[in-house]
Amino acid sequence: MKILMLTPYLPYPLLSGGQIRTYNLLKQLSEKHQVTLFSLIKDQDETKYIPELLKYCADVRVFRRSKTPFTLRNIAKTAISSYPFLVIRNYVSEVTQAIEQELQRTDFDLLHAETFYMMPHLPKTKTPTILVEQTIEYLGYESYAKQAFPLIRPLLNLDIKKIKRWESYYWERADQLIVMSEQDKDFIKQTTKVQNDIAVVANGVDAAWFSEKPKISHKNPTVLFVGTFKWLPNREAVRYLVHEIWPHILAKLPNAKLHIVGNAPTDEIKKFEHEYPNIVVKGRVEDIRDAFAVADVLVAPVFSGKGTRYKVLEAMASGTPLVATPTAVEGLHLQENTHALIGNTGIELAKQTLILLNSASLREKLAQASKQFVQKNYDWQSISSQLDIIYRHIGASNENK
């Protein structure tokens, strides 16, 4: 099948969950389908990654959006538009023109849009559209607004209402909506008027690749946090870890280390290294397996947002025991005390982390069970097969119209 895919980022290098997902799906689907990729970029320097994507795509075209989101132009446009800031900052009019031209040249079977805020680029067309929502956007922004400075909170809440309105609108408009978990599907069904079919295609992990690097012997008990810090719930989570969990761990294990790893750490996060004992902020690392190799426990104190957490799947694939909130493992169908230890408060999460740091046998037990679990349920090959089935079903339905 011929597929035109739209993404708000170039799916390489693998710095965020969205990039990881799209890249691995392109890699798997390229054996069965011909994909033309249209992506937004912030910097012309990103074009150097196009050759890597051409290994799996028939063509790759990129379109420049503003390098920084909070430009006067974007803010002014948002003020007079019914669209939220999230759509305005990711809208490039040339994309719509390019899609129209591409549809005239090529008889595509499907249009595949990653994220609802790429949907405004689509012209009127009879070609079936698949919308993939890796998270429910407005929920993440609601959490951020609650903690924002009171004077700007009304503006944020207005913008969140816009996000919610347009997110629901495009969920209904798509011929097929795909979400990351049954919980996301149920949430949409229960809280919106969306009645069209919703499919679940979870995120995955390259289990074999993570297994290639074994654990490295190290002296100090080491806790790890991983997450891209452009995503608001991750900033919230690492802040909670440092303030509400880490002091309890240090009180019992003064020689313990905390490694904070992830793309685009904020100035606040960078300062943790100097303001709190035994914290190392590594930021972006070239090979995430190196971070897991020296970690005894991954802690994921996530309290907001939807979607499947890559940090959780990667930890399990690497054999790193997991301590998490229920939100962090939502939709993964993990068994508590078999695949992860769960806590709801800072004290509970600290207690569970200390249990693992003090028991090598329990760490090994969880690590082995977790590895087997992701290999069976979340390897990219099986995940891509699910998406392939949906592609073929939607394509066949269109042919029969």
Give the C-alpha separation, 111 to 131, whole Å: 8
- CATH superfamily of the 207-377 domain: Glycogen Phosphorylase B; (3.40.50.2000)
The kind and range of the H/E element at 286 are: none
What is the CATH T-level fold of the domain 2-204+380-399, as seen in this structure?
Rossmann fold (3.40.50)
Rounded alpha-carbon distances, angstroms, from residue 347 to 27, 243, 324, 330, 344: 42, 11, 12, 21, 8
> Smallest Cα–Cα separation from 83: which of 161, 146, 138?
161
Strands (E), 8-101: 34-41, 59-64
Bond before 13 cis per omega within 30 degrees: yes
The tokens 């900033």 sit on which residue?
235
Q: Are 312 and 300 within 8 A, CB to CB?
A: yes
Rounded-to-integer distance, Cα 355 and Cα 307, Å? 28
Burial 258-270 (b: 16+ CB within 10 A, else e): bbbbbbebeeebe
Following CA atoms 71, 74, 80, 84 in sequence, which dihedral angle do they give, to the nearest 10 degrees? -120
C-alpha distance across the termini of the chain, in Å:
17
Residue pLDDT, tens place only, 346-387 = 999 999 999 999 999 999 999 999 999 999 999 998 899 999
Does the fold of domain 207-377 match that of domain 2-204+380-399?
yes
What length is written for the chain? 401
Integer-rounded Cα Rg, in Å, for the chain is 21
Cα 37 to chain centroid, rounded: 19
pLDDT (0 to 100) of residue 305: 67
Distance CA 111, CA 14 (A): 23
- State the CB neighbour count (10 A cutoff) for residue 171: 21
- Picking from 201, 199, 194, the residue whose alpha carbon sits closest to that of residue 173 is 194
User: What is the C-alpha separation between 219 and 203, in angstroms, rounded?
Assistant: 34
pLDDT at 152: 86
Torsion from C-alpha of 9, 15, 20, 21, nearest 10 degrees: -50
pLDDT at 159: 94
pLDDT for 307 equals 57
Q: Please give the angle made by the CA atoms of 138, 316 and 348, to the nearest 5 degrees.
A: 70
What are the domain boundaries of the chain? 2-204+380-399, 207-377
Judged by DSSP in three states, 396 sits in helix
pTM of the complete model? 0.84
pLDDT in the model for residue 181: 86
**Structure-token pair, residue 7:** 């993404």
Residue closest to 246 by CA, chosen among 352, 356, 346, 359: 346
Q: Which stretches of the chain drop beneath a pLDDT of 50?
A: none
C-alpha pair distances (Å), 267 with each of 67, 171, 225? 19, 36, 17
